[in-house]
Copies of this chain bind each other. A is one copy, B any other.
């Protein structure tokens, strides 16, 4: 925009944001979003929920939106539908109305929702002249962007595909008014784990290799999950995806009994578990999340962080510590 300003020196006396435009209607849509409480976090949740619902991990065990092949693949129809899901979830989250011809009515303006998993958005002819709410997310990088763009010929690539849709051009992209740029997408635990330690993901899903679906297999996988990722906060989506069944949270509770002999506790959100996690320097589980830890009995003069359970003192297990069965933690508000 610096170039534009140099063309109109009289207008550039007042400082303007570097991406300022002469589109007050678009600016009013942008201002509307920025006035919404926690809008950035909420957009992140919108995209997280949309992706997770399409992956449907509870039924499919899938966690990777980008998988093209094999049993865990995401079909083209599902990718297309994800755009519709994002539109629906964003509308519900921000209570957006319907425009007469575009998806939304925001701050008196018609706005069309456009989603992409890739680099650019496909803009249909009907959107010409209208404002688009452009959303994109990268589930591997854990980031997302949301911006606004008035669709004119000069923001689009010259070529159109079979559907008469055109991509946003490189120069068009520079005209996007960002609402959230480089936002932090709530983490996809399993996809992240696969990136950092693929052998752990293989161990988790392979734990039921001798089973076919059903309760036992899911339990074995959830047990292995808590063995593989001690000290890490595990969310509900991860547990139901690993369990690949409806009652994932029950599998997390039952894992406590299975893992006790190995010295592992699975801490949930009910008291006193969050305090125990905090005592040990672990992340604090909230409702719908868990953190596992292998415990060791420690003496009063042991310098490591410790917690007292049923009158005994425990710290995080280290090589050389004696193996003990994990204590039973009685929830005080269950």
- Residues of chain A whose beta carbon lies under 8 Å from any beta carbon of chain B: 56, 58-60, 71, 75, 77-78, 80-81, 83-84, 88-89, 91-92, 95, 98, 212-214, 244
Contacts and interface: CB of A to CB of B under 8 A. Distances in A.
17 contacts: A56-B88, A59-B88, A59-B89, A59-B91, A60-B91, A60-B92, A71-B98, A77-B77, A77-B81, A77-B83, A77-B84, A78-B81, A80-B80, A80-B81, A81-B84, A92-B244, A95-B212
Nearest to A92: B59
6 interchain residue pairs of minimum CB distance: A81-B81, A59-B92, A95-B213, A77-B84, A71-B98, A77-B80
A10 B83 CA distance: 59
Contacts of A214: 95
Most buried by B among A77, A95, A214, A244: A77
A208 B214 CA distance: 44
Contacts of A244: 92
Given A59-B89, A92-B244, A95-B214, 6 more contacts: A59-B91, A71-B98, A78-B84, A81-B81, A81-B84, A95-B212
A71 B244 CA distance: 34
